[in-house]
Chain A
């Protein structure tokens, strides 16, 4: 399958990545190579096979709804690149 730079632009937007032109060129070729190799899967007939997302049959793991202490706010904020006393700071997102 042909991978175009337009396709790479589109998945970059979805991935929140903005590749410099040179990196984009290289990535386009590499993705095309990798995806071409993955086409070997199309030689397999899987029309009768259920997709398997989990190897073991685990479903609906629930626990008792018990009150337990949550993390201290200060502890969670201490790794933030930018913060104030009680929140993470980001540029204004709503006008």
Chain B
């Protein structure tokens, strides 16, 4: 099997069903590649469980197996996996091994995938570079001197580096889409409420959503078909008709209206990124889509609104980490309150503490109205603006990030500057919309550029159909970093 690693998840699934590749062979390939990658994409490998499961799945292989049956993948380390360490890349969770599986993890297991491990991330998903991990930064497989993006940087690097065929991550303000963009892969945050958050360790509950990071749009559709659907264990999960995304991909986007918001292509956007993203419109137009210009006059408000709301929810959600029920506990405390304070002060990293303090501040009496309540009002305006834009077109086309992946160490020195780079992704979470990031070019230094497609609420299908159509006529998504090709060619 020459180039086994370069197959998509769906191609590998098909090869497994045809008997051309065995599941244990696929798992060994993934484990070997992941072990050699040297990008620090994983926090925990589950090699033994994966090998055992591969044998069992191979024995149970039937002609009617699902599209992802037997495919090795990875899970972000903030998604609970029963009896497997789930750390959120934080010291404070220690070797926490959850007593239950997240619904998304369980559904993937039912679909027959094989997890090879848990991927690195920014601590508690707070960060845009995967540098705030207690377990050290993940490196970008395209150039190890650059960050992979974040917070799902380990998931993105593992998929881009061909260490596994897809991964699941979480996206609160861009944490799937931005690392997908920086690593040259396809990633999607589905409509809020379509994937259960049960077992996803909460950062900002009203914004968090689980989604796929994969080689292309079809793989993303297959993963979403497996994990979407209402869950009685998540009160915010929506009642809707799930499934059928993969089957809907026909490449036909004739008459689809693609809106280009001028406000997303203004100052601060790198020229190479701008030109690559606008190039997507040309490809879609050539396939019969109609491209319209429109305005989205809320862009300057989205980052402050997002950081107020996300920090407020984080300060509340993270109060459960106190060194009592699970995880790590500091030593040398004097009393119960001192135990809490020492554990939290020593157990959380700087970025997490910054957001807890910011969130506590905006919720504190005297400042609540001026910051938190104000942000909730502006959130209403942002949703209105997106609803208005979505009424004029079927999808929006925007950049994912203002630049390609920055160099390691460039971002953390100025937190505000790092927050500002989230401008194109956070609004999608605030409005609850589906957003997809797909590769659309490279900059002069050879780093991948991503484009974002945004749909109306529950418009996940059209987002995927447009991305699929784009990928029929382009090859950006098939490009692999040089280091990933090496191990693959030996197969």
Give me the interface of A with B, judged by CB distance under 8 Å. 7-8, 10-12, 14-19, 23, 27, 30-31, 33-35, 37-38, 40-42, 44, 46, 49-56, 58, 61, 63, 71-72, 75-76, 78-82, 88, 90-93
Contacts and interface: CB of A to CB of B under 8 A. Distances in A.
With most chain A CB atoms within 10 A of its CB, the pick from B96, B334, B415 is B415
A53 B357 contact: no
Given A34-B416, A79-B327, A56 B432 contact: yes
B486 to A, nearest CB: 40
Given A23-B353, A58-B235, 15 more contacts: A11-B357, A11-B364, A15-B353, A23-B350, A33-B416, A34-B415, A35-B361, A38-B371, A49-B377, A49-B380, A51-B377, A55-B206, A55-B430, A90-B324, A91-B333
A19 B238 CA distance: 41
B323 to A, nearest CB: 6
B161 to A, nearest CB: 32
13 contacts: A7-B361, A8-B357, A16-B340, A19-B353, A27-B354, A33-B416, A41-B375, A49-B377, A53-B376, A56-B192, A61-B236, A71-B100, A81-B328
A34 B364 contact: no
B304 interface: yes
Given A19-B353, A46-B377, A55 B304 contact: no
A11 B355 CA distance: 12
Interface in B327-360: 327-329, 333-337, 339-342, 344-345, 348, 350, 353-354, 356-358, 360
Interface of B is mostly: helix
B442 interface: no
B322 interface: yes
B364 A14 contact: yes
A37 B416 contact: yes
A81 B329 contact: yes
Contacts of A63: 232
Nearest to A34: B416
A46 B304 CA distance: 15
A42 B371 CA distance: 9
Contacts of A80: 324-326
B336 A90 contact: yes
Contact of B337 (A10, A11, A16, A79): A16
B415 A30 contact: yes
Given A16-B337, A16-B341, A40-B300, A46 B381 contact: yes
Nearest to A51: B376
A13 to B, nearest CB: 9
B457 interface: yes
A33 B159 CA distance: 36
B301 interface: yes
Contacts of A17: 341, 344-345, 348, 353, 356-357
B374 interface: yes
Interface in B183-208: 192-193, 206
Contacts of B353: 15, 17, 19, 23, 27
Given A27-B357, A46-B381, A93-B335, A41 B344 contact: no
Contacts of B356: 15, 17
A31 to B, nearest CB: 6
B308 A38 contact: yes
A7 B376 CA distance: 24
B357 A31 contact: yes
A34 to B, nearest CB: 5
Contacts of A88: 324-325
A76 B186 CA distance: 37
Nearest to A28: B357
